Amino acid sequence: MRFIPGIDLRGGRMIRLLRGELAREFDYEPSPVEYAAALVEAGARYLHVIDLGAAFQEPPSTAAIRAIVARAGVPVQVGGGIRSEERLKEVLDAGADRVMLGTRALADPEFLERAAAIAGPARVMPGLDFKGGKLAVDAWRTTIDADPAALGARFRAQGLERLLVTAIDRDGTFLGPDVELWRAAAAMTGMRVIGAGGIGSMQDLEKIIAADIPGLEGVVAGRALLEGRIDPAAALRLFAE
């Protein structure tokens, strides 16, 4: 299992949102490029970058993404507002190792199929974001009725391998991970899962490891690293062990 540090962008700045709400934004001083370099120096071998501005249909942070990829020198998975083939190609051209697709990927199977053809199925990761027990789309502002098992079957038929599964109600809260959500998502979809949302301490990371969830390939933490609740080097050593 892999520990993946996360970086959220808006207008090229590094921010975090509480439960995905723009009105509850936290700004951070380090430049995202310097922060990414520091994470790699601490031992990170994979990074997770979300363009929150693009998700809310603001101008994308493509230049910052490109600079992060170039400076970090490790693979970077990128998501946020990728709703067109043009934007998909821009993110790939910026150096993304893997692209994360949400809103349109759930609503438009043909778009997801074209994305897999452009990037290669191994480099496309749909996101299942849960809010109040339902799947959320449109930058987490709208919930929909959808069957994760049926979505998983469709994704697998398209040759996709993994999902990002986020507990929105816990995202940025330090309330602890929803390990049972990740367990259920992996079981229902039959896919490998990267889990996100709520991680706030080293004890949370130990809990994740102890849960021994089949199919859980990795976890993402963001705000807890930025605010010193988790030392990235210690977290990376824990998962390496």
Q: Locate 19 and state its tokens.
A: 């439960």
3-state helix, strand, coil in the chain (%, to 5): 40, 30, 30
Q: Between vectors from CA 103 to CA 211 and to CA 79, what angle results, nearest 5°?
A: 65
Residues identified as active-site = 8, 129
d(CA 186, CA 195): 10
CA 196 to chain centre: 7
Q: What is the CA angle 64-67-192, rounded to 5?
A: 80
Residue 38 to residue 50: CA distance in whole angstroms: 18
CB 130 within 8 A of CB 181: yes
How far from 12 is each of 4, 28, 59, 78, CA to CA, in Å?
Answer: 20, 12, 9, 14
Q: Is the dihedral of CA 109, 17, 220, 60 positive or negative?
A: positive
Three-state DSSP class for 141?
coil
